[in-house]
Amino acid sequence: MTNFTFLPEPYRIKMVEPIHLLPPQERVEALRRAGYNPFSLRSSEVYIDLLTDSGTGAMSDRQWAALMMGDESYAGSSSFYQLESTAQELFGYQYIIPAHQGRGAEQVLFPQFIKPGQDVIGNMHFDTTMAHISLAGGIPVNLVHERAYDTQLEHPFKGDTDLDQLRSYIVKRGAENIAFCIITITCNSAGGQPVSMANIKAVSEICQEYGVLCFMDAARFAENAYFIKKREAGYAHQSIKSIIREMFSYTQAFTLSAKKDGLVNIGGLIGIKDNREWYEHTRSVLVPLEGFPTYGGMAGRDMAALAVGLQEVVTDEYLEARVYQIEYLATRLQAGGVPFQSPVGGHAVFLDAKKILPHIPFHQYPAQALCNEIYLEGGIRPVEIGSFLLGRDATGVQLESPLELVRLTIPRRVYTISHLEYVAAICTKVMQRASDIKGIKITYEPPVLRHFTARLEPLS
Ligand code: F0G
C-alpha cells in the first residue's frame, strides 16, 4: 500500500453538485434530531456522504446520453435487449432477467430453491441476502475463513470461504438440507474483501461433488476481478473481461445489485447460466413481484444506462483509479494512526472501532458511537457494521458481532483525492480524542432491521 505513485482521477467534471459543511453547533443539533443515528440525517446535513457505495455513483456522459435513448415500452423494450446482450456477453450466461435492485433479484430467485428449514451456505451473506433467505424459510450460514475476522492480518483474499469447513459442514448437515451455496464477491460484510479465483473454483467443485447448487452474489464483480488480476498468480496478463468470464463459469446463477459495479443509481439482474426450466420459472415469478420480463422494475432509460455502465466498469483504467482511491485513503489513515481492516477491499475502508475504542463494550455500540463522532467532527456520514447492525437473538439478548466496524464507503466517480484527504484528517482528529468518547444506548428500536430507524442516546 506504500510506495505508489500519485494517480489522478481519469475523468474531468462537467457538472457540479454543491455540498456544504454545517457549522459545528448545527451538526450537534442535526445529530440529536436524528436520534444519534446517521441514517436519519437529511443529506443536506451531510458534507461528505460515505454511508454507501450503492446507487450513489456518478454516471458518465455516455450513460446520460444513453438515458435519453431509453425505450420505455412495457414489453420488448430495445433497452432491455441492449442490456441483455451486454450482460450475456460479459458473464457468459444465456439468461438475463432484470430486477429493480439486488434485493428484488433475491426475492425472485431464492424462494424457488429454498425448502423451509434448509440452510443457505456461503462465505458471508449480506443483510438483505440473509433476510430473503430467512423470509423463504431458510437458515443463512457463513463459512468465511476465520482470517476475515482479524483486521490486522495481511492476506490478499480475506473473502475466501474456508474450504475445510465447507466440506465438513456439508457432510455433517447433509447435502439434502442445503438449498444452495452463494459466494459473495467482494465479501461486503467482511470489509469488501475479495475472493480468489482458486477459492471460487474450489467451492464450486466441492458443491458439485456433493450435489449442492452454487450461486454468486455479484454486486462488486468487477472490483473482485481487479483484485484477482493484481493479487493472484497467473492473472496479471489476463483481461478483466476474461477473468469475469472465468469467475462466473463456476456458478450456475447469480443475483446482482447494479447499484454498485453497474455504475447506475438503480437496477439489478438475475443471471442463469443455461437452465431453461429455472429461467422460465424465474420469469413467471418475476411478473407479480418486479414486473414484466423485459423491464423487471427498471425504467427503459435505466436499463440503457446500465448497459453502458457494464462496459465502463470493466476497463483497467476505471478499476485502477477506483481501487487507488480506497488505497489512498487507507494510506492517509495509516499515517494518522487510525486502525482499519487491512488490506483494504474495493469499495470502502472499514475502521476497526474495537481497536479505536477498546474501553466501550459491544453492548454500548462502539462503532455507532464512532460514526457519530466522525459526523460531529467533520460532517462526514459513515455507517456502522457491528453489534448495532447485528441486533438481538430470539429472546431479545443483544448479540456480539465479531467485528465492530465503521465503513467509510466511497461512491464511484463522485469524490476526489482532496475530499479523501479531508476524510483522513477528520478521522485522525477523532482518533486523537478517542479515549474521551463514550458509548451509546438505544432508546427506541423496531423489531426488524432496527439500524435504519432506531433512536439512540450517548451515555453520560
Ligand atoms: N448483496 C451485496 C453484497 C450488497 O452489498 C448489497 C447491497 C445487496 C446484495 C443488495 O442490493 O441494495 O441493490 O438491493 N449493499 C448496499 C450496501 C446496500 O450499502 O452495502 P440492493
101 touches ligand 1 (CB under 6 Å):
yes
Mean pLDDT rounded to a whole number for the chain? 96
CB of 254 within 8 A of CB of 248?
yes
Question: Strand order in 268-272's β-sheet?
Answer: 95-99, 268-272, 253-257, 214-217, 178-184, 119-122, 139-142
End-to-end CA distance of the chain: 39
pLDDT category at 379 given cuts 50, 70, 90 is very high
CB of 244 within 8 A of CB of 90?
yes
Name the residue of 124, 188, 255, 381 to mutate for ligand 1: max ligand atoms within 8 A of Cβ: 188
Is the pLDDT at 170 greater than 50? The verdict is yes
Give the position of cell 432506531: 454
Once rounded to an integer, what is the mean pLDDT over residues 128-150?
94
Q: Of all helices (H) and strands (E), which one includes residue 96?
A: strand 95-99
Name the residue of 220, 259, 389, 451 to mutate for ligand 1: max ligand atoms within 8 A of Cβ: 259
183 touches ligand 1 (CB under 6 Å):
no
Q: Which of 49, 71, 160, 217 is catalytic?
A: 217
CB of 350 within 8 A of CB of 385?
yes
Note if 219 is an active site residue.
yes
**Alpha-carbon distance 423 to 90, whole Å?**
35
Ligand 1 mean position, distance from CA 459 (Å):
32
Ligand 1 mean position, distance from CA 298 (Å):
17
Q: Which of 4, 74, 444, 452 is catalytic?
A: 74
Is the pLDDT at 6 greater than 90? The verdict is no
Note if 429 is an active site residue.
no
Q: Which is the closest atom of ligand 1 to the Cα of 258?
A: 13
Q: Which of 127, 202, 210, 429 is catalytic?
A: 127
Once rounded to an integer, what is the mean pLDDT over residues 154-161?
96
193 touches ligand 1 (CB under 6 Å):
no
Could you read off the pLDDT of 304-332 as tens digits, one per residue? 999 999 999 999 999 999 999 999 999 99
The amino acid at residue 188 is N
pLDDT of residue 151: 86
Q: Which of 100, 190, 451, 454 is catalytic?
A: 451
Q: Is 63 helix (H, G, I), strand (E, B) or coil?
A: helix
Structure pTM?
0.96
Ligand 1 mean position, distance from CA 26 (Å):
31
In terms of phi and psi (left: phi > 0; alpha: psi -120 to 50; beta: otherwise), the region of 296 is left
**Alpha-carbon distance 160 to 126, whole Å?**
15
pLDDT of residue 191: 87
pLDDT of residue 2: 46
What is the share, in percent, of the chain residues with pLDDT greater than 90? 94
**Alpha-carbon distance 359 to 356, whole Å?**
9
pLDDT of residue 1: 46
Could you read off the pLDDT of 331-359 as tens digits, one per residue? 999 999 999 999 999 999 999 999 999 99
Please count the helices (runs of H) and the strands (runs of E) in the chain.
16, 14
Could you read off the pLDDT of 421-457 as tens digits, one per residue? 999 999 999 999 999 999 999 999 998 788 999 999 9
- Convert 417-456 to b/e letters by CB count within 10 Å (16 or more is b): bebbebbbebbbebbeebeebebbebeebeeeebbeebeb
Q: What sign does the CA torsion over 411, 291, 182, 124 have?
A: positive
Note if 260 is an active site residue.
yes
Give backbone dihedrals phi and psi of 351, rounded to 5 degrees, phi first: -70, 145
Note if 419 is an active site residue.
no
